[in-house]
Structure 1
Amino acid sequence: MRRETQNILLVLLGGALLKISFSGMYLRYVQKSLLPLLIAAGVVMIGLALFAIVTDIRRGRAEAAEAGHEHSSRSTWFLLLPVMAVFLISPPALGGDIVNSAADTNQTQRSRNLLGELPSGDVIPLSMTEFVTRTAWDESGTLDGRRVKLTGFLLRADGETYAARIAISCCAADARPLKVRLGGDVPALPDEQWVEVTGQVVPKSANETNSWVPSFTVDSFTPVAEPVEPYES
């Protein structure tokens, strides 16, 4: 690959990292805590490219490279296509496809963190991660009889309706699905519509037989926009 093409690739890759960082698109790929590293990587790439360009101009290598390698320029430009895709295409966040395709046993691989006390109040807002973890590991039944509010996207499979969420530890590559089986009055909304559901867990409904998927009796159901941070940790 010619040095000019290498430098252009570095500039575009660095620019792509900065674009997704400052536009918020990075949340579709990695956790929020990694934002400083993405920005630093983008700045370093652009800096290296600019340093190389200045060095080549001073040494006259750019002119020398043009004289005998014109035949290779067409193929190297194809390498820019994946980079341009980052600028032109905004991929959706992971959704129902990964929940359906992933083994349900992935939900049993979460860590057994110590569960803290539930907050007081008529309705307890919980992440899907904490709710599913509590229904699987909290044998004292602290959620029984408590009204809980969950946020997730709708998913239908095998005649059942679920509220689902994707959790990641670092980035989208280690995504794992979480889902809750919904019962009660569930409106006919399209799959992957984001919703807030309020209701109560069905005691002892999460077990090894159903891959630790709890059942949830809905008493309130509200469509919402996709969260800015679609993934949980």
Structure 2
Amino acid sequence: MRRYGPALLLVLVGAAILRISAFSALYLRYVQAGLRPYLIVSGAALVLLGIAMAVVRHSADDGHDGDGDGDHHGHAHHGPRVAWLLTLPALALLLFPPPALGSYSAEREAAQRAAQGVGVFPALPAGDPVRLGVGEFSSRAIYDSGRSLKGRTVRMTGFVTHGDDGTWYVTRLLVSCCAADASTSKAEIRGADALPADTWVTVTGTWHPRGKLGTDGAWPPVLDAVSVEQVEQPADPYEKR
């Protein structure tokens, strides 16, 4: 069985990739939606390559059965037993996919700094409440000299994180490519009781201005809540930059 170890590992890794990309939306916990076709192709290629390796190995073993040197060929290419440990990550991804990044990842990141500069943002759509991503709300609150949020009711969805002083935030992680480059956007919620960390909520409320635009004093932005509704985690838990 050990001689088929590399082939089995390829099949396991390929099957794990196919499980999260072709047969579910779990891949959205790790990468953007546009990468799904590449994941499917990669997973299928690994499975096929593993099967091909197993077939070639089996054919080679059959060819040596009667040459009197079977023992030599049967054991000459065995790898170290520790290599079997490489199957554990593949099995973990196949059977127990890791969850999306949450409050722990968000809290590790230091507060954002005013690096993008103050400017005028495009007008918001008509009608209240206007649905915004947490990242867009944060950007407008901190950098928009046109004060487009003033007097508007907004609605945002994110997960709960807690501050050291009893404050709580609705938070989203923003990605450019995959979970490895995630950064944090959040808004402090006032006027509503906090829920447990990592609970997904939809918050409706109005912007509470504070601090000077484009400075650390404006971070994090504040929302005076009108309502907080607990919701299911969306299939795609990340916002795009």
Q: Give the shorter-chain TM-score range.
A: 0.7 to 0.9
Question: Relative to 1, partners in 2 of residues 1:18 and 1:180: Cα closer, same or farther, differing over 3 Å?
Answer: same
Task: Provide structure 2 residue ranges, at least 5 long, that are not aligned to the other structure.
Answer: 65-69
Question: Paired residue for 1:66, among 48, 71, 74?
Answer: 74
1:112·1:137 contact (CA, 8 Å) conserved in 2?
A: yes
TM-score normalised according to structure 1 size = 0.87
Structure 1 range deviating more: 93-102 or 187-196? 187-196
Quick one: percent identity of the two aligned structures? 37
Q: State the Cα RMSD in Å.
A: 2.6
Question: 1:225 aligns to what SS in structure 2?
Answer: coil
Provide the aligned length of Structure 1 versus Structure 2: 229
Question: Paired residue for 1:99, among 80, 96, 106?
Answer: 106
Question: 2:147 aligns to what SS in structure 1?
Answer: coil
The answer as to 2:164 corresponding to 1:163 is no
1:56·1:62 contact (CA, 8 Å) conserved in 2?
A: no
Residues 87-135 of structure 1, C-alpha deviations (whole Å, 9 max, x = no match): 2223221111111111112x65679998433111121001112111212
TM-score normalised according to structure 2 size = 0.85
Q: Which residue of 2 aligns with 1:141?
A: 147
TM-superposed deviation, 1:25? 1.2
Q: Which has the larger radius of gyration?
A: 2
TM-superposed deviation, 1:23? 1.8
Q: Which residue of 2 aligns with 1:10?
A: 10
Matches within 5 A, 1:64-143: 65-68=73-76, 72=79, 74-105=81-112, 108=114, 115-143=121-149
Residues 160-205 of structure 1, C-alpha deviations (whole Å, 9 max, x = no match): 1111111111111001011101112x12421211111111111354
Question: Relative to 1, partners in 2 of residues 1:14 and 1:157: Cα closer, same or farther, differing over 3 Å?
Answer: same
Question: Paired residue for 2:195, among 189, 196, 206?
Answer: 189
Question: Relative to 1, partners in 2 of residues 1:68 and 1:211: Cα closer, same or farther, differing over 3 Å?
Answer: farther
Q: Which residue of 2 aligns with 1:154?
A: 160
2:135·2:186 contact (CA, 8 Å) conserved in 1?
A: no
Task: Provide structure 1 residue ranges, at least 5 long, that are not aligned to the other structure.
Answer: none
